[in-house]
A and B are shown apart, each in its own frame.
Chain A
Amino acid sequence: QKEVEQDPGPLSVPEGAIVSLNCTYSNSAFQYFMWYRQYSRKGPELLMYTYSSGNKEDGRFTAQVDKSSKYISLFIRDSQPSDSATYLCAMSDAGGTSYGKLTFGQGTILTVHP
């Protein structure tokens, strides 16, 4: 079983829709949670970073963490065609010797059509 599970999709939504992307994890040592966006043939770029349970909002994006359920989500409001990309959740632990190691989900391919 992978440490981080993410539904690969693909997900296709109309412009303006609310998008929900989700990851579950099994390693309780994970304490820092990130969402990356990756456009085709590009490197991932950081969208959101959080370390506490609850919601964090940044513009049209909201990251939600539920540590008790080992579940994280990313919501995109008023989705735009420019949001079409692969979304990757990533996590790191709070101790030990893993330092900057990020563990990624498989990525969800999102298409927003006009």
Chain B
Amino acid sequence: DSGVTQTPKHLITATGQRVTLRCSPRSGDLSVYWYQQSLDQGLQFLIQYYNGEERAKGNILERFSAQQFPDLHSELNLSSLELGDSALYFCASSVASGRTDTQYFGPGTRLTVL
């Protein structure tokens, strides 16, 4: 158990809908990262937050947004969902914001868009 929690574990929804994925980092970790894992694209970095501020951005679609709250939990919002958004979404956390920090991954949320 990495100490990172994600809810829900599974989500099934329809095209055009909006969903929110939630992540609680390990105790003491200030950075939260979101990744998307699909069969064709592999594990791809979406976005990083550090202590409430956006720190780095990857290939995140405009339909997706994220935020980190004062209690350091984070939410990833996915809107106008398309079939291609079906994937595993992982949250990771680390102590600080640097590129040498170990990232601890949560168990993931499996999103299925029908």
Contact = CB atoms under 8 A, between A and B. Distances in A.
Interface stretch (A11-19, A54-62, A71-79, A100-108): A100-108
* Chain B interface, >50% SS class: strand
Contacts, number: 69
Contact of B31 (A49, A97, A100): A100
A92 B97 CA distance: 13
A94 B33 CA distance: 18
Interface string A32-58: 100010000111111001010000000
Interface residues of B, number: 29
B90 A44 contact: yes
A103 B42 CA distance: 10
Contact of A88 (B2, B43, B100): B43
Interface residues of A, number: 25
Given A99-B56, A101-B48, A44 B43 contact: yes
Interface in B57-74: 58
A36 B103 CA distance: 10
B46 to A, nearest CB: 10
Contacts of A46: 102-104
Contact of A102 (B2, B4, B45): B45
Given A42-B107, A45-B105, A99-B48, A93 B99 contact: yes
13 contacts: A32-B100, A42-B108, A43-B106, A44-B90, A46-B102, A46-B104, A49-B102, A93-B99, A99-B55, A99-B99, A102-B103, A104-B42, A104-B44
9 A-B pairs with the lowest CB-CB distances in the bound complex, closest first: A43-B105, A92-B99, A104-B43, A99-B56, A106-B42, A101-B45, A99-B55, A44-B105, A101-B56
